[in-house]
Amino acid sequence: MFKIDFRKYDCTFIAAICICIIFGSFMVFSSSAVMADIKWTSPYKFFLRQMLWVIVGFLAMFVTGFLINYKFYKKYAKWIYLFALVLVIAVLFMGVSRLGAKRWLGIGHFTVQPSELAKVAIVIAIADFISRKKELVAEWKGLIAPGFIVSLMLFPIAIEPDLGTPVLIAGVCFAMLFCAGIKMSTVFASGITAVLLMAEEIVRKPYRLLRFKDYIASFINIDASSYQVKQSLNALGSGGLLGKGLGKSEMKLMYLPEAHTDFIFPIIGEELGFIGTVLVVGFFVYLFCKGIKMSKNMPDLFSLYLCLGVTFLIVFQAIINISVATGVFPAKGLPLPFISFGGTSLIITMAAAGILINLSQYKKQSRS
């Protein structure tokens, strides 16, 4: 009979993730109820959909956490990457368009966002490359293969258009390679290349250029910030230390667009105050520290860099989301992991967390 020994895993880590997901579900309801009632005459529309995705996400997290060993990802790294690549390319030809972007594939009454799967697929592919060719990472020629792997996946995503996801993926892969030992000269060269590519993408799209101009101007005059960022800062500022109380946000009353998705963090600040936002940030700090600590216990190089990559993926996305909400970064649409409303994003993030849960079973040991 199949039996799982849950005592092997980090129960505190599992509990922290579950609490964050449940908290996120309540915040989705709080931030979306009024808008859903006005537009769809049902305050529970987004909450019920979120609960459906949470259930699917918990199933995915259970599978990746307790049923699939990390060696599966190493064995099928190339196939996982190719599967994600095919889906990302398929979006360009058969994708569903929303708000001027084609990022989703329609499956019956549901849509999926392949770029979310691509995030994890690239992390697995880079971890596999480092585990096999770590001695080449310090050389220029050794970066050709990972550069090709990343660029091939990011190119169709950028065409959708989507700039936030490529920036996130590139940052995560760069952090993984940095941990693997790339030279500082490569770091500077990569940084300059990334800045030039981002500048080209910003100039290529007028709405991106306008956002960037507003972002630069906001350093001199905060009123020059984009509408969403100004409303976000108003929400955060009005919450004070303890907040107005759960469900009592005013900015969610159609003043702050995307209050239940990309800008859910300001609603948390308005309703639960500075204490609430600190707890959210504290969770991601905890996840980052736990991921780094776990990576030191991994039995081989692949599991080590897989652990680092998944940790970076979740935490970096949280940093970008919170930085956009607080005006530190230019406006860019990336959800807050575990908390924002979203289907594919939430399910894939929970599945990725399951990988970390699976890796938590390994205790400190010698590694060849």
pLDDT at 64: 96
Question: What is the average pLDDT across 185-199?
Answer: 77
Does residue 368 lie within any of the structural domains? Answer: no
Does residue 76 lie within any of the structural domains? Answer: yes
Note if the bond before 161 is cis, omega within 30 degrees.
yes
Does residue 256 lie within any of the structural domains? Answer: yes
pLDDT at 83: 96
Split at pLDDT 50, 70, 90, the class of 364 is low
pLDDT at 322: 95
pLDDT at 224: 62
Give me the domain span that covers residue 240.
6-359
Cβ neighbours around 265 below 10 Å, total: 27
Does residue 219 lie within any of the structural domains? Answer: yes
Single-letter residue type at 150: V
* pLDDT score of 1 more than 60: no
- What angle is formed at CA 357 by the lines to CA 296 and CA 264, rounded to 5 degrees? 110
Question: What is the average pLDDT across 196-210?
Answer: 76
- 293-311 per-position pLDDT tens digit: 999 999 999 999 999 999 9
* pLDDT score of 110 more than 90: no
Split at pLDDT 50, 70, 90, the class of 360 is very high
pLDDT at 30: 94
pLDDT at 99: 65
Least confident of 125-134, 178-187, 298-307, 322-331: 178-187
pLDDT at 368: 43
* pLDDT score of 265 more than 60: yes
* pLDDT score of 253 more than 90: no
- pTM score, whole prediction: 0.93
Neighbouring residues of 122: CB distance < 8 A, sequence distance ≥ 6: 81, 84, 149, 150, 153, 169, 172, 173
Residue with tokens 């940095």: 178
Does residue 366 lie within any of the structural domains? Answer: no
Calculate the dihedral angle through the C-alpha atoms of 112, 114, 120, 124, rounding to the nearest 10 degrees: 140
Does residue 367 lie within any of the structural domains? Answer: no
pLDDT at 230: 84
Does residue 50 lie within any of the structural domains? Answer: yes
Is residue 246 classed as helix, strand or coil in its secondary structure? coil
- Work out the mean pLDDT of the chain and round it to a whole number: 88
Split at pLDDT 50, 70, 90, the class of 366 is very low
Split at pLDDT 50, 70, 90, the class of 358 is very high
Split at pLDDT 50, 70, 90, the class of 216 is confident
For the ranges 5-9, 43-47, 105-109, 160-164, the one whose mean pLDDT is highest: 43-47
Burial of 73 (0-12, 13-18, 19+ CB in 10 A): buried
pLDDT at 12: 95
- 166-180 per-position pLDDT tens digit: 999 999 999 999 999
Is residue 97 classed as helix, strand or coil in its secondary structure? strand
In degrees rounded to 5, what are phi and psi of residue 93? Answer: -105, -35
Q: Indicate the number of domains in the chain.
A: 1
Least confident of 72-76, 140-144, 347-351: 140-144
* pLDDT score of 85 more than 90: yes
Closest Cα partner for 180 from 140, 143, 134? 134
Does residue 286 lie within any of the structural domains? Answer: yes
Neighbouring residues of 240: CB distance < 8 A, sequence distance ≥ 6: 273, 274
* pLDDT score of 218 more than 60: yes
- 28-67 per-position pLDDT tens digit: 999 999 888 888 888 999 999 999 999 999 999 999 999 9
Is the backbone of residue 330 left (phi > 0), alpha (psi -120 to 50) or beta? beta
Alpha-carbon separation of residue 290 from 20, 61, 163 (angstroms)? 15, 18, 29
